[in-house]
Structure formats: C-alpha cells, structure tokens
Amino acid sequence: MSQNPNEEKIREHTFDGIQEFDKSLPNWWLFTLYATIVFSIAYWVYYQKAGIGLDQEQELEAAFEQISENVAKAKAEAGVLDDDTFAVMAKDPAIVSAGQTIYTQNCAACHGQNLEGGIGLALNDAEWKHGANPLAIKKVVAEGVATAGMPPWGPVLGDEKVNQVVAFLVSKQAK
C-alpha cells in the first residue's frame, strides 16, 4: 500500500476492519500533560519530602481552631459569656490592659502585683481553690468568698470591669 506524501498517514494494522490515522497529539494536550506532571512532582516534594506544607491533620486542626475562634468572637459580640469568650478576650491586648489596670488598683493589695499572693491566694499558678475556669473566676470576683475574706467586687466594679479583670487573670494563668 503506497501512500501519497500529501495524504495523512494510516497505521498498517487493522482491527475489525477499522484503520487508524497516525497523527501526533495536539500541542495543547501535550502542554496540559507535561504541566500536570510538573505540578504533581512539585506537590509531592512540597507536601511529602520537604515537609513545608501542612498535612491533612494539621489543616484540620487549624480549621477547627479557626472555627472555634470565630464562634467565640460571635458569642462575645452577641454578649454571651462562657469560657471560650473569656479565652478570646484574654488575647485582646486592650481588654487585658484594662483588666490589669483594674487589678492593680483593686486586687494587687491582697493578691500581689505579680499575682504571687500575700493576704489573698496566689493567682499565677495552676491551682485555684475555687475553680480555674473563667466562669468560676468571674463568680469569685463578682460575688466574693465570704469565708475566705474575699469581698464581692461585682457591685463595686460593674460587670464590664469584672470581665476585664477575669480576662487579665485568664491571660496570666499558668499553661
């Protein structure tokens, strides 16, 4: 079977009476193939060998942390006070600074400038007699502990200032 050089080449094999043209792949298809190969090698090196990128567990943890932070911020904006809200408040430098000022003016006389204790209990360690979670701390600050000589500061300071002091204390808790 001789072919004219201007005609397209046909492969010599036949299957079920069908013959195929012998054409090369289009350049766009080859470019896509080579780009995919280069991308997959770069992806493999980035995530598997170099250890630069986050693995799936780290990405999931980061996503959950972001979600928790967003939920806590939404609660804080809505006025809901819980442990997560105080954790977010403890990361806000303005709230912590205001809480530190209030603490210095009203609490440092008994609990010490550095929360080391004195007349009152130490507040810079992990052991808290009346509860270390933020809501328990808020209850103690607001309502006091009459048997321990801790006065109720809620009526004196008001809710906002009590929350700032609690945020300050939470920011200083031993981790």
pLDDT higher at 18 or 11: 18
User: Is 148 among the domain residues?
Assistant: yes
**Packed helices 93-106 and 159-172: angle between N→C axes, nearest 10 degrees:** 100
Same domain, 10 and 90: no
DSSP state of 49: I
Same domain, 164 and 91: yes
User: Is 59 among the domain residues?
Assistant: no
| 11 backbone dihedrals φ, ψ, rounded to 5° | -65, 155
Same domain, 148 and 80: yes
Same domain, 116 and 38: no
89-96, Cβ contacts within 8 angstroms, sequence gap of 24 or more: 89/163, 89/164, 89/166, 89/167, 89/170, 90/167, 90/168, 90/170, 90/171, 91/171, 92/167, 95/163, 95/164, 95/167, 95/168, 96/164, 96/167, 96/168, 96/171
Q: Output the pTM of the full model.
A: 0.57
The pLDDT tens digits of the residues spanning 116-128 come to 877 877 787 777 7
Same domain, 95 and 35: no
pLDDT higher at 88 or 62: 62
Band of pLDDT at residue 163, cut at 50, 70 and 90: confident
Same domain, 91 and 15: no
Band of pLDDT at residue 40, cut at 50, 70 and 90: very high
Q: Which is nearest to 107 in space by CA: 137, 69, 65?
A: 137
Whichever domain contains 102, its CATH number is 1.10.760.10
Same domain, 81 and 161: yes
Q: What is the pLDDT, as a whole number, of residue 60?
A: 92
Say which residue the tokens 């210095």 belong to: 104
CA distance 146 to 127: 20
Q: What is the pLDDT, as a whole number, of residue 136?
A: 84
pLDDT higher at 78 or 134: 134
Using a 10 angstrom Cβ sphere, with 0-12 exposed, 13-18 middle and 19 or more buried, the burial of residue 119 is: exposed
Same domain, 21 and 50: yes
Say which residue the tokens 């600050």 belong to: 141
Q: What is the pLDDT, as a whole number, of residue 6?
A: 67
* Paired tokens of 149: 């000589």
Report, as an integer, the average pLDDT of 136-155.
86
DSSP state of 39: H
Report, as an integer, the average pLDDT of 143-156.
86
**Which residues form the domain of 35?**
1-54
22-27, Cβ contacts within 8 angstroms, sequence gap of 24 or more: none
The region of weakest confidence among 55-64, 93-102, 106-115 is 106-115
Res 41 pLDDT > 80: yes
Report, as an integer, the average pLDDT of 19-44.
92
Calculate the average pLDDT of the chain. 83
